[in-house]
Chain A
Amino acid sequence: EAGVVQSPRYKIIEKKQPVAFWCNPISGHNTLYWYLQNLGQGPELLIRYENEEAVDDSQLPKDRFSAERLKGVDSTLKIQPAELGDSAVYLCASSLDPTDRGHNEQFFGPGTRLTVL
C-alpha cells in the first residue's frame, strides 16, 4: 500500500514568489493534515481537513497561506507571497478516522523542504 505522497521534495524560491505543495493521502483516509516543521522543533499544525471540509485552520496564516482539498482526496497548500521566514519543511499527514480511537494514527509523507532566498 502506498504511503502519503508529497511533491515536490525540495523547492527553492526567491522571496515574494508564490509556491505550491501537493499531497496525496493514503487511499481511504478521510482526514488530511498539513504541518510546518522548523529545524529542531516538532511539527506545527497548519490545517486539518475531514473529507473536503477544513475543520481546523486556526493556525494557518490566512493572509498568505491557502489550502484546498476539493474532492476530499488530494490537497494543495499554497503560499503567496513567500517570505524568508517561511523556509521550513512542510509535512502532509493522513489518518483513517480521527473520531475512532483505533483508527486515528497519523501517517506522514516525506515532506517538502522549502528554502526562500
Chain B
Amino acid sequence: KQEVTQIPAALSVPEGENLVLNCSFTDSAIYNLQWFRQDPGKGLTSLLLIQSSQREQTSGRLNASLDKSSGRSTLYIAASQPGDSATYLCAVITGNNRKLIWGLGTSLAVNP
C-alpha cells in the first residue's frame, strides 16, 4: 500500500532564504508525482508535475526533483517571499486507478 510522508510538518523561515521541502513514498512504482500549494480556506493550486521518467521540473523559483529508486522528491523554493506562505502537499499516482495518494503537507511561513 502506497504511503506518502512529508517532512517537516511545519517550517518557518525569514524572507529571502532558499528552502527544501521533502516528500517520500513507500512504493517506487509511481506513475507521476505532483506538488500543490494550498492557501488557508482555498482550493489546491498545482505547482509542478513530474512524470515517472523525469528527474526534475522547474517553474520560476520552484524546482522539484524526483528520485524513484529512493522514493523521494524534493521541492526547492529559491529566494522565499511572504507570499509563498501556504501549505505544500505532494501526491503520487500509483497504478492504473489514477488515484492521488497524498502526504499531509508542510505548512510554510515566510516571515518579512
Which residues of A are interface residues toward B (Cβ below 8 A)? 6, 31, 40-43, 45, 48, 56, 91, 93, 98, 101-102, 104-111, 113
Contacts and interface: CB of A to CB of B under 8 A. Distances in A.
Interface string B45-70: 11001011100000000000000000
Interface stretch (B13-21, B71-79, B101-109): B101-109
A56 B44 contact: no
A53 to B, nearest CB: 14
Interface in B85-112: 89, 91, 93, 97-100, 102-105
Contacts of B51: 101-102
Contacts of A91: 43-44
Interface of B: 31-32, 34, 36, 41-46, 49, 51-53, 89, 91, 93, 97-100, 102-105
Contacts of B42: 110-111
B105 A105 contact: no
Nearest to B102: A42
Contacts of A101: 31-32, 51-53
A104 B98 contact: yes
B38 to A, nearest CB: 9
